Structure 1
Amino acid sequence: MSDNELSLEKILAGSDADKNQPTDYQAGFAAVIGRPNVGKSTIMNELLGQKLSITSHKPQTTRHRIHGIYTTQEHQIIYVDTPGMHLGGEKSINDYMNRTANSAFADVDVILFVVEAGRWTKEDEAVAKKLKGIDTPVVVLMNKIDNYKNKEDLFPFMQKVGESVTMDTLIPISAYKKSGLDLIKKEVLKYLPHQEKIFPEEYITDRSQRFLAAEIIREKLMRTLGEEVPYGSTVEIEQFKYDEEEGRWLINALILVERKGQKQIVIGKKGELIKQMGIQARKDLIALLDGRVHLELWVKVKENWSDDARALASLGYDDNYSS
């Protein structure tokens, strides 16, 4: 896919879709929702059969809405990965993520509500309340069942979920063990309309390569630093181009933090941490771009960016689905 993403409005208008689809073809949207760190992005990646959304053990890794497109000869399922719906957090970025997650309820054909087996929190309860009264079918995905040797131990929890969520069905799964994924696809297809492809068949997402590059780098930041990663950090791509003469991609990225002390945390002693992030990110970027990559990472302090609406918009955190 080129760096200039095709507008969603143009795609939905069908100007680039195949007009010769059979009438029994199915296409539609399935939103993947739930609280932070419950496995939504991992599930979507497994359903797509390739990595698209970034993952880490840190809550609120996903900050944007991302469409993952799974196309076959019979159907096209567009999975909508969303930030985790969370309570608390008064900064502008928290408000943005919750708005983005809530927007997934609109104009989708089915909602996949992910919960963690054996664990029901106040945030799960808040999501369940939002689902009450909506007309869209709801399928609960009970993830991480591999943590239970005796599945009968989950019956009380399943009853609790059944009492709390207005749903059409519940599917026990394990994204880690890749079990139950075929059941998800079969269930989703029950609710998709019969219509032509929404996206061209070669598309795997509606996001640009530039956006995906920034996400890859942010993933390495979160995985490398673990609990030490500054929450107020993000990645801004300054240069993203292919050099014909050198035969490689040239990518310059800024890791933005909010305080001077955080800058040194990201860089690490003698620059070892940022070097490690660069090595790991470059491997994934080579796979993404299918070519050689020259990557340069820098760290810059941008005070209070996560609570500044203008700064958020300039960094792609806005409601206009910027890439």
Structure 2
Amino acid sequence: MTDALIQKSAPNDEDMKKIGQFSRREMSADEVYIFNVDLCNNDIDRDFEKFSVATLNQLAEYFVGKTGIFDHSMKAENQKARVFDAWVERVDGKKTADGDDFYTLKARAYMLKNDENRELIAEIDAGIKKEVSVSCSVEKAVCSICDTDNRHGRCEHIPGKSYGGQLCFNILSGARDAYEFSFVAVPAQREAGVTKSFENAKEKNMQDIIKSIASGDGVTLTKSEASRLNTYIEGLKDEATLGEEYKKSLSKEVVDLFKSAFPDMDSKLFSSVTAVMTAKELIGFRDGMKKSEAKTKIKPQLAQAVESKANDFSQFRI
């Protein structure tokens, strides 16, 4: 066998018996076109995720009876094939990127030999249509560094980065369901391509989006995530404007206090100092100067003194 993801295969009696579980009538071998397909494997993919071998075995059961379509487009007219058998197979002498034995989820699928499918069959035979991608759901996405389940929380490790010489990736485990496989141009997995669809998966929160951007790697956002990021940025702009106005008022207040405390000094010199101070530093200067002013405040010489009332002991007079 070659490394092709889709391979033509002649039908046998066992195949026709399995196909009969899905057809409404008994089909003949001349009516169907059968091919083998490598759906997915346990290697680390382009998204820095990998299936556990146990998950592949679970998916093998789920994929039997699932349909083959194009580009994950969930339209009935895009249905072209159906999986009638699936199993997990170890590839001798081959290892995954993290050193595990290489296992692949293989399947046998069929489609009708008719005028509508003639071009697709020709493209499969010619090796043009051979990359596939699958859609499924899993329970966990466990960090390879710290074992955190990123389906239900987020750790500080970034997939694709190395920590202490160890590559970070997520291990997908606990298959819940399989939905379909698709003919695609560029699959996520180099060998068999996989597009994961986490059931009830939450979109990235803002902290995750910012962390992804800060990593310097390419970032793909959904339309909703991009909209939330834009709203977040606009909010930061508004807060920055308010912050600048507040800082200007603080700076003016500090300069006025300086002029009051040191009337003979050039206030412009101090203004240039306040211009580079942070709001926190300005608040510290303002509060400190106010306290100092209160302690050292000198009373004018002409201020009227409070007269003390002399005690004439009148209360003892008779």
TM-score of the pair, normalised by structure 2: 0.19
User: Taking CA–CA contacts closer than 8 Å with sequence separation of 6 or more, which of the two structures ends up with the larger relative contact order?
Assistant: 1
Pick the structure with greater CA Rg: 2
TM-score of the pair, normalised by structure 1: 0.19
